[in-house]
Amino acid sequence: MTNIISPNTSSDISPDDRCFLYGDGFFSTVRVTGGVPELWPLHLARLQHTAAQLAIDIADWNLISNAVIDAIATAQANNAVLKIQLSRGSGQRGYSPAGIAPASVYISISNLPDYSRWQQQGVTLALAELQLAVQPLLAGLKHCNRLEQVLLKQQAISRGVDDLLVCDQQGYVTEAIAANLFLHRAGRWYTPELSRAGVAGVMRSHLLSRHPDIEQVNWRLSELKNVDAMVLTNALMGGVPVQSYNNQPLDLVLAKTWCSELLC
């Protein structure tokens, strides 16, 4: 059995929920357009993969898909953000996951941010000082331990930039704060390979499946010197062009054209 808590239930988060205590869970944020959860099959596939990686047992995935549809209908959500968060469940204190059941699923709906300015004008990007911890067992997963991203967001705000380009602790270019990164060089598009750190976003997966010519690469910062355009992607904003990196202008027209062609 799976415990589902959504806008049409009155249940509260238990203080001994392991997601609350240890970040022992994972989540996905879904764009709802016209009452439909966009790219839901890819979101569901990522949730299933992460559950398997973390050995969190979900008895009935159809039940979760139905709960998502019900939550959208109950909230009468037309254009919105749906967040689905899965926890291993509630249990006694201590790190051991033994005997923890059932899993809990939390569904919430909020307003969709307006990304139109970013999509039209592009974003300013700077190099982050913080580097992501390297942990291959968690690489690619959107688990609930997001303190690195909280610190990165604070840094971006303090430096007056829209977003940050983030490397891992081995010096490899990885992602932005809450988006994947696509880079254009010498007529081709590339994206960082994510076997050490970072989140394998749903929009990234969508683009890679449709455009296998996009190469996944392990680049250090020195590889960026000949990059002439950059794009950030995630499931909520789609694709956003980067207007400048470290105060150096990039090809905004090329990035916007690529977004319109690949994300239509």
What's the start-to-end Cα distance of the chain, in Å?
Answer: 39
In this structure, are 215 and 255 located in the same domain?
A: yes
**Residue finishing a domain among 111, 139, 165:** 111
Give pLDDT, residue 2: 65
What is the pTM (predicted TM-score) of this model?
0.94
Give pLDDT, residue 3: 75
In this structure, are 195 and 181 located in the same domain?
A: yes
How far, in Å, CA of 86 to CA of 17, rounded? 11
Full residue range of the structural domain in which residue 235 is found: 116-262
**Residue finishing a domain among 70, 95, 111:** 111
In this structure, are 104 and 198 located in the same domain?
A: no
Could you give the number of structural domains in the chain?
Answer: 2
Going residue by residue through the chain (264 aa), what tens digit of pLDDT does each one get? 567 776 655 567 788 899 999 999 999 999 999 999 999 999 999 999 999 999 999 989 999 999 999 999 999 989 999 999 999 998 878 999 988 878 999 999 999 999 999 999 999 999 999 999 999 999 999 999 999 999 999 999 999 999 999 999 999 999 999 999 999 999 999 999 999 999 999 999 999 999 999 999 999 999 999 999 999 999 999 999 999 999 999 999 999 999 888 775
In this structure, are 107 and 121 located in the same domain?
A: no
Distance set, CA 197 to CA 60, 84, 155, 220, 244 (Å): 29, 22, 19, 14, 24
In this structure, are 120 and 250 located in the same domain?
A: yes
In this structure, are 203 and 188 located in the same domain?
A: yes
In this structure, are 155 and 234 located in the same domain?
A: yes
Question: 103 and 43 in contact (C-beta within 8 Å)?
Answer: no
In this structure, are 101 and 161 located in the same domain?
A: no
In this structure, are 72 and 142 located in the same domain?
A: no
Distance set, CA 59 to CA 64, 91, 103, 188 (Å): 10, 18, 9, 43
Give pLDDT, residue 264: 58
Give pLDDT, residue 10: 53
In this structure, are 50 and 142 located in the same domain?
A: no
What residues are labeled active site?
29, 142, 175
Provide the pairing of β-strand 123-127 with 238-245: parallel
